Amino acid sequence: KLLIGSKIQSERLNFSAYRSTFSLNVDLS
């Protein structure tokens, strides 16, 4: 259970990091 929970958490972090980068790129355009 701990392994699955940490995987979901890391995927959530990756998604928010991707979204932050995407919005940053939009601002620079």
Chain-centroid distance of CA 21 in Å reads: 9
State the Cα–Cα distance between residues 19 and 2, nearest whole angstrom.
Answer: 26
Q: Tell me the pLDDT tens digit for each residue of 1-29.
A: 678 788 888 889 888 888 888 777 777 65
The total number of structural domains in the chain stands at: 1
pLDDT at 13: 87
The domain of 4 spans 1-29
Decide: pTM greater than 0.75: no
| DSSP, residue by residue, 1-29 | -HHHHHHHHHHHHHHHHHHHHHHHHHHH-
Give the pLDDT score at 19: 84
pLDDT given for residue 28 in this prediction: 64
